[in-house]
Structure 1
Amino acid sequence: MRTTHAFACTFGATMITPHQTRFRLWAPSCDTVDLEIEGAAPIAMTRQPDGAFEIVAPCGAGARYRYRVRPDLAVADPASRAQPDDVFGPSMVVDPRAYAWTVNDWCGMPWERTVIYEIHVGIAGGFQGVRARLSQLAALGITAVQLMPLSEFPGGRNWGYDGVLPYAPESSYGTPEDLKALIDHAHGLGMMVFLDVVYNHFGPDGNFLSAYAAPFFRSDRPTPWGEAIDFRQPAVRTYFTENALYWLMEYRFDGLRLDAVHAIADRDWLVELAARVRARTEAGRHVHLILENENNDAGLLQSGFDAQWNDDGHNALHVLLTGEDEGYYRNFSDDPTAHLARVLGQGFAFQGEVFPTLKRPRGMPSGSLPPSAFILFLQNHDQIGNRALGDRLTVLADPRALRAAYGLLLLSPQIPLLFMGEEWGSRRPFLFFTSHSPHLGQIVRDGRRREFAAFAHFSDPARREQIPDPNQPETFAASVPNAREAAGPAGRGWQDLFATLLRLRRHHVVPRLRGARGLGAQPIGPAAVAARWRMGDGAVLAIALNLGEGVVPLPDWVAGTVLFDGSPADGSPATPAPPQRDLDPYSVTVRLLEVAHG
């Protein structure tokens, strides 16, 4: 039986028959709109009461088209399913049922089994390059690959957050069918695939919405990227809600990560989106919704969202690992062990306290949430790529401390996330890169260099000139992971460590994760913290981490069978531990006290 999937979108080009396609564009600022299909005469579209223009035209898959919204302006479809010639080229009609899925019984997997691997599709070699990596990642213990944004952006080099056509997979990465084949192959390996989506802004180049749909934006709420999107408009809500459903239903993604939702003024739309997703996806299918949210809004994690990226946890760990205290790290440098202890015990470090750099309260109480509502990481695209030189922790931190920190990351009840190359200890940078026009590229380069003027290392203008130009092809090339690193002795050692930790997580943490709750955490030394959790089966998991140079006494309550004791080669069977001992410098101990039955 041939299985296909298609989601009926309100906007864009929807095939009705093989030779008929309905086109619909929301253009309330226009009196007239013409549909221009290549090789055919323009067709006047019919205006609807809601400001949309609609027409059924005699064309099918492969037809290329634009909308003429002004005599001097023809634009791509904002709901285009494909842009073969980039954002300034024509859109193309796509038959979503052209791809026959091979894995038809996939329903995803419970959230507790999630181990996320974030990947940039471009530097991985496009959709086919990512697909080629999947079996290796599955063997390591990764259960979910998270793709950085795929919305069509100008040029072929971009992080993806400058996308302007949210329904069109980036054409430089491959075709829509290539993306579906990637997801299909992952499902066959027993892996989930998540997608990072950007609903808080459009990129600066190639977005013409304001020319024909001015109400799409609101001038009274500026954002770092321009005027805010107006989610008070029903058409705008439909556009983005259906975009989420389109990726989940037509492409069969297993979850979405919503970028920077603190920049979305209308919080109620987020709640509405989660409810729509839960109501629309098939019964029995596991679909996961993840937030990035500087507001530390615990309420959203009780309103249909599974988890949030735990930036507080990263920031506290980064300060302990590197000693850095500039920029937002200043908010955590006063007492990083206390911040980390609160993260491990309650989720967020800031739960309504004044955030020093913002000079206003941030966050809300999160102690009632399960630890799996938080995604913990040591590195991700932001935390590496937003550094001036894109340097990774492997060049910033003591490798002994870094190995110990991975014991905490991969064996704590919070959901772990790794960034591409991290599993072999890559030392290659991940830089900020773009492929804008020369004029816009220069603006981005100069603005980025100005941003770092406040940092001590870049206070000298000559040093700032050393910050790579995002628009140069060499900047992109320098970010491509080096396969030789992975194959070398150091790379193999890191992979052995990750494989050991993920095996221990799979056998000892994951089966107990549902129903887990924090039992408290506290600093136990200048750079050391201990935490414990009551797991779902009643067992107590305890982790003590020492990232400092001195020996630290362990509290009595860090007890039980040793799962991991911090040695890079540690993979031996669990052994009984003495009731108490000292915690060596740059080490971690993970212990499980099981409940007696019978």
Structure 2
Amino acid sequence: MPLPTPETWPHGAQLLDSGLTRFALWAPDAFHVSVELEDGQSLPMLAQDDGWFVIKSHCPAGTAYRYQIDGEMLVPDPASRAQQGDVHGPSLVTDPNAYQWQFPQWQGRPWHEAVIYELHVGVLGGFAAVEKHLARLAELGITAIELMPLAQFPGERNWGYDGVLPYAPQSSYGTPEQLKHLIDCAHGHGLMVILDVVYNHFGPDGNYLGRYAKGFFRQDLKTPWGDAIDFRRPQVRDFFIDNALMWLLEYRFDGLRFDAVHAIEDPDFLKQMAARIRQQVDGPRHVWLTLENELNQAHLLEEGFDAQWNDDGHNALHVLLTGETEAYYNDFAERPTEKLARCLSEGFIYQGERNRHGELRGEPSGHLPPNAFVLFLQNHDQIGNRAFGERLSALCSTDALRAATTLLLLSPMVPLLFMGDEGAANEPFLFFTDFHGELAEAVRQGRRGEFAAFAAFADAEQRARIPDPNDAQTFTASRPHFPQADSPWARLYATLLHLRHQHLTEHLTGSRSLGAQVLADGALYARWQLNDGSELRIDLNLSAHAVESSVPPVQYCLFDSRLDATGDRPANTLPPYSALVSLTPAGDDA
């Protein structure tokens, strides 16, 4: 049987039909590599072309192993499918077919049905604990949960963006089988499951690739986390593309959210990855690929990707709700109402204009459908990147938040909630890690240094009040309160999502913007034509003053955020902090 070409070795330990396990490590900077088993056996690996080391051996699922590099150091498998403890410990051989799926015929749901709920598995208590929320979320009207990154990281707690073993689910959250059970249960409730993946860097602790596979990185390009990953190399590309395919095919995730792709220094990698995924995932399945991309590259949303997180929309809404204009919010401080109007009618706000640094940002996006954009009022970044992790419930009025929530859940864009939003949780969501020694101190000081330019943290004494990411209390303080089903906020979310599913969802595919018009500072209205010819209109006033409007009065009120039901209100007037949603049937010019 001929050996695969060097580019096609699957990374890591693969159980074969013969009962053998094949170990493959790309280590072009190593001279000798062996597989060291927990029972003391040492299995010298055979050097192949182009830096590969490979061996087959009778090692069943559950076998603990590490690689020995040049007789000098023991390292985990960079493509470990599971860890026996931390990132520095042994990796485990796993059987990808051991789990018996309860809902093997699940094919997902179409994108126009998407209502996404982002959550942190560790904060909720692990894979099994997340399962306890599924029935409640499905009843609320959520159609997908999105898990923050799961890649194995050092320690017991982490935001998830310091992972160093991207194939291994975090061991403190549960086993690979428990993760599959969570996904399976979600499917049983009619919920899709999306995974946030990080392909732009490795975390600072537990990454040994620089010793034996320096080709993973390029020193001529830097990212905020160090040397950029070198996606020019086929072995590196395959490492990450195969990882994406593992989550989608073996774990049956329904989609992936790609973190900070603006830090991926290769223009072709993302397109190649999307093409490979579309080729290898079964045709009937609905698989969603979404991006976080500071560059606002609209062309990617026509080349294999479904949507992008719309930070522009969030930032304009945040300025209007809170009045904050420091740091990146400064790009939205001038004429924020006009910027929000552009978001609602064209998607991105920055479509080639210069930002506060004088840099050109974005591409034209007005030709894209509304559901090419994921809109949110909060997410892990926008809360957790605040010094004290405050949520909007602590930053703006209740009426203003209700109005903005109405816009979020009833616009044709794809709505995303962050865990706790449905109860207007007031617990913070802080940045947390579990580092030790010099790294812990560097992260602590680095975190506080991030806020040195803010007026509230101008001196060191003020910055010292910022919670220590490595303190366990910072982690436990980030657990949100979840509301009872009959609480006011839960009722609001349930009502709005019921209206979305009953009146809008089936008509969203093919919808298009009919424009948006500014009425006054903080007030506007936006219109969309749905695929049945009906017209959706949202009148929004996030200011503290009533606004008179010359636009035709609403005839078919779907929801009024100030009344929590349909009812009378002064004609041509938008009360302070209000949203009025109407749906006019096709052909009705009233």
Range of TM-score over shorter length: over 0.9
Partner letter of residue 280 of structure 1? Q
**Alpha-carbon shift at residue 581 of structure 1 (Å):** 2.0
Contact 2:32-2:71 at 8 Å conserved across structures? no
Kindly report which structure 2 residues correspond to 1:273-284, keeping only aligned pairs within 5 A, or say none.
273-284=273-284
**CA–CA separation in structure 2 for the residues paired with 1:580 and 1:270:** 50
Contact 2:351-2:361 at 8 Å conserved across structures? yes
Partner letter of residue 267 of structure 1? P
Partner letter of residue 222 of structure 1? K
Partner letter of residue 502 of structure 2? H
Contact 1:561-1:591 at 8 Å conserved across structures? yes
- SS of equivalent residue, structure 2 residue 240: helix
**Alpha-carbon shift at residue 567 of structure 1 (Å):** 2.8
| 1:530 pairs with 2:503 | no
- SS of equivalent residue, structure 1 residue 509: helix
**CA–CA separation in structure 2 for the residues paired with 1:510 and 1:350:** 28
CA spacing shift, 1:151–1:365, aligned 2, 3 Å: same
Partner letter of residue 438 of structure 2? H
**Alpha-carbon shift at residue 435 of structure 1 (Å):** 0.3
TM-score relative to the length of structure 2:
0.96
- SS of equivalent residue, structure 1 residue 29: coil
**CA–CA separation in structure 1 for the residues paired with 2:553 and 2:458:** 45
**Aligned position for 1:394:** 393
Partner letter of residue 245 of structure 2? L
- Superimposed CA distance per residue, residues 315-373 of structure 1 (whole angstroms, 9 cap, x where no aligned partner): 000000000010000000111101100000000000000011x3111001000000000
Q: Which of residues 497, 508, 514 is equivalent to 1:513?
A: 508
Contact 1:544-1:558 at 8 Å conserved across structures? no
**Aligned position for 1:176:** 176
**Aligned position for 1:4:** none
Where in structure 1 are there 5+ consecutive unaligned residues?
Answer: 1-7
Kindly report which structure 2 residues correspond to 1:146-545, keeping only aligned pairs within 5 A, or say none.
146-356=146-356, 358-483=357-482, 486-487=483-484, 492-545=487-540
CA spacing shift, 1:558–1:253, aligned 2, 3 Å: farther
**CA–CA separation in structure 2 for the residues paired with 1:18 and 1:530:** 65
- Superimposed CA distance per residue, residues 29-54 of structure 1 (whole angstroms, 9 cap, x where no aligned partner): 11211111111421111111121110
**CA–CA separation in structure 2 for the residues paired with 1:128 and 1:18:** 33
**Aligned position for 1:20:** 20
Contact 2:552-2:572 at 8 Å conserved across structures? no
Contact 1:9-1:242 at 8 Å conserved across structures? no
- Superimposed CA distance per residue, residues 162-212 of structure 1 (whole angstroms, 9 cap, x where no aligned partner): 000000000000000000000000001111000000000000000001111
**Alpha-carbon shift at residue 299 of structure 1 (Å):** 0.3
Contact 2:525-2:540 at 8 Å conserved across structures? yes
**Alpha-carbon shift at residue 15 of structure 1 (Å):** 0.8
**Aligned position for 1:110:** 110
**Aligned position for 1:585:** 576
**Aligned position for 1:5:** none
| 1:131 pairs with 2:131 | yes
**CA–CA separation in structure 1 for the residues paired with 2:152 and 2:136:** 28
- Superimposed CA distance per residue, residues 458-506 of structure 1 (whole angstroms, 9 cap, x where no aligned partner): 11321111100000101001111235xx2498xx110000000000111
Contact 1:22-1:54 at 8 Å conserved across structures? yes
- SS of equivalent residue, structure 1 residue 154: coil
| 1:567 pairs with 2:566 | no
**CA–CA separation in structure 2 for the residues paired with 1:312 and 1:366:** 12
- SS of equivalent residue, structure 1 residue 366: coil
**CA–CA separation in structure 2 for the residues paired with 1:275 and 1:101:** 27
Contact 1:385-1:432 at 8 Å conserved across structures? yes
**CA–CA separation in structure 2 for the residues paired with 1:410 and 1:555:** 26
**CA–CA separation in structure 2 for the residues paired with 1:458 and 1:229:** 34
Contact 1:35-1:66 at 8 Å conserved across structures? yes
Contact 2:553-2:572 at 8 Å conserved across structures? no
**CA–CA separation in structure 2 for the residues paired with 1:183 and 1:26:** 31
Q: Which of residues 540, 543, 547 is equivalent to 2:542?
A: 547
- In the alignment of these two chains, the number of paired residues is 581
**CA–CA separation in structure 1 for the residues paired with 2:569 and 2:541:** 18
**Alpha-carbon shift at residue 580 of structure 1 (Å):** 4.9
**CA–CA separation in structure 1 for the residues paired with 2:130 and 2:41:** 41
Where in structure 2 are there 5+ consecutive unaligned residues?
Answer: 1-7
**Alpha-carbon shift at residue 558 of structure 1 (Å):** 6.1
- SS of equivalent residue, structure 2 residue 200: coil
- SS of equivalent residue, structure 2 residue 528: strand
CA spacing shift, 1:488–1:511, aligned 2, 3 Å: closer
Contact 1:107-1:285 at 8 Å conserved across structures? yes
**Alpha-carbon shift at residue 569 of structure 1 (Å):** 3.2
- SS of equivalent residue, structure 2 residue 121: coil
**CA–CA separation in structure 2 for the residues paired with 1:535 and 1:331:** 32
- Superimposed CA distance per residue, residues 98-127 of structure 1 (whole angstroms, 9 cap, x where no aligned partner): 100000211000000000000000011100
Contact 1:560-1:594 at 8 Å conserved across structures? no
CA spacing shift, 1:579–1:285, aligned 2, 3 Å: farther
**CA–CA separation in structure 2 for the residues paired with 1:453 and 1:273:** 39
